[in-house]
Amino acid sequence: MAEKKKRDHFGSKIGIIAAAVGSAVGLGNIYRFPCMAGENGGGAFLIVYIGIVLALGLPMMVSEFVIGRRSQRNPVGAFKTLASGAKGWPLIGYMGVLCGFLILTFYTTVAGWTIESVYKSIINYYQGKNLAEIEQGFNDSINMTFRPLLWQAVFIFISAFVIVKGIEKGIEKYSKILMPTLTVILIILCVKSLMLPGAFEGMKFLFKPDFSKIDGHVLISALGQVFFSMSLGMGALITYGSYISKKDNLVTTSLMVGLSDTFVAILAGIIIFPAAFSFGIRPEAGPSLAFNTLPLIFNQMKGGYFFCLIFFILLVIAAWTSALSLFEVIVSYLTEELKLSRRKATIYSSVGAFIISILAAMSLHNDSSLTIFGFTVFDGLDKITSMVLMTLGGLFTVIFLGWKVKKQDFEDEFTNGGIVNMRLKKIFYFIIKYLAPVAIAVIMVSQFII
């Protein structure tokens, strides 16, 4: 019991929201969402995406918070505790820790590019270059050996620096500073983008759905994107949930976090598509959109130096607070289950992630032969985590909560001991028990058929 008392918690409601939104809002929103929307028909993708957030994403977020707060443990310990001794279930937790580690390895590579881009903005590298030159420069940077690894190391270092300080004095404190900064930058950039000539075409692309574009591929891409963006399926929110005070309402917390996350993705779309259309760039440009197209566009604007710089700072902040949640899953497991000190746990997980991230980064070199299952290590890690580990993790998490955890435990956490959310309880329980498992399973199976 003494040990439980020592457990660090979030100090305030604002702190929880900042940290959880920090986890959810990341490269997934600002870099991956516009890519996915661009490749999958814009408005059609957005509609499907929002539908999945409401029907599945939010109930799943609540589920993870419920499991975390009920058990007061890391993901592995949480399944051990709530399965009341039944074997097998903790595997979901182990899978989550592994998945968090694997996501970190390629996430830090992309985060490294964001720091590289901040550096390029500062030295005014983009000035006067055309798209081909900027793209060439981007490829050259990726193909360098030392520099990408240096930026990855820097990124891992700033994350470890916060993680080692703990929950309230580390994650919470930094999220409370970083998230408002991120919001201000987002709004400035949106206003700027909307003022461009021809911005309206971009808005039409994002908001006017062409329903004929919705097919199996759009559904799967949207589901994967919801999981990734809302940080679902690998225990990040179980871990954060375990630090939430018993007084806080888990449903309203999830609503705020989930809706902010979606809102930021849409804002990122509002920054990127009007700008792209205004300069005649096709929305399917993929990863190049954020890293190459935008600097080109900023380049040609008044005040472009400033806007370009704050855009990449925005990306760094978004990636940073998300990486904190990925690290926290591993660190909470190492400290609570393996009884390592927080310092050691932070060092081991950072060094481990750095080593594998070297492979991810090197696999992108033009002459690289580092592949798994026919993909580069980088793409392979992305595919394994988002198509297999996270969806499986999410599937088993809702099955666990719906069928294995005592209904009373669910109700107590969901309603804070019978005070709030009484009406919503039935609907959510139905979704968690029946709808979510079936929907995830169907979409999962169909992704392999397609």
> Which residues would be at the binding site for ligand TRP (CB under 6 A)?
23-24, 26-29, 103, 228-229, 231, 234, 236, 322, 325-326, 390
- CB closer to ligand TRP, 134 vs 317: 317
Closest CA to 102 of 233, 11, 223, 265: 233
| Neighbour tally for 7: CB within 10 Å | 14
Cβ atoms 364, 347 nearer than 8 A:
no
- CB closer to ligand TRP, 38 vs 137: 38
CB of 23 to ligand TRP, least distance (A): 5
Cβ atoms 93, 77 nearer than 8 A:
yes
CB of 272 to ligand TRP, least distance (A): 15
Q: What is the DSSP string of 157-212?
A: HHHHHHHTT-IIIIIIHHHHHHHHHHHHHHHHHHHHHHTSTTHHHHHHHHHS--GG
Cβ atoms 279, 297 nearer than 8 A:
yes
CB of 93 to ligand TRP, least distance (A): 14
CB of 352 to ligand TRP, least distance (A): 17
CB of 27 to ligand TRP, least distance (A): 5
- CB closer to ligand TRP, 171 vs 390: 390
Q: How many angstroms separate the CA atoms of 266 and 411, rounded? A: 33
- CB closer to ligand TRP, 24 vs 290: 24
CB of 33 to ligand TRP, least distance (A): 8
- CB closer to ligand TRP, 261 vs 413: 261
CB of 87 to ligand TRP, least distance (A): 25
Quick one: tokens of 348? 């081991």
- CB closer to ligand TRP, 103 vs 432: 103
Q: How many angstroms separate the CA atoms of 190 and 186, rounded? A: 6
- CB closer to ligand TRP, 134 vs 360: 360
Q: Coil, helix or strand for 8?
A: coil
Residues 6+ apart with CB under 8 A from 7: 72, 242, 243
**CA dist list (Å): 160 to 315, 330, 351, 418:** 18, 12, 10, 39
CB of 238 to ligand TRP, least distance (A): 10
- CB closer to ligand TRP, 156 vs 296: 156
CB of 229 to ligand TRP, least distance (A): 4
CB of 390 to ligand TRP, least distance (A): 6
Q: How many angstroms separate the CA atoms of 56 and 286, rounded? A: 26
What are the residues facing 371 on neighbouring strands? 376
Quick one: tokens of 317? 């902040």
- CB closer to ligand TRP, 71 vs 385: 385
- CB closer to ligand TRP, 19 vs 326: 326
Q: What is the DSSP string of 351-397?
A: HHHHHHHHHHHHTTSTT---EETTEEHHHHHHHIIIIIIHHHHHHHH
Quick one: tokens of 241? 């949930």
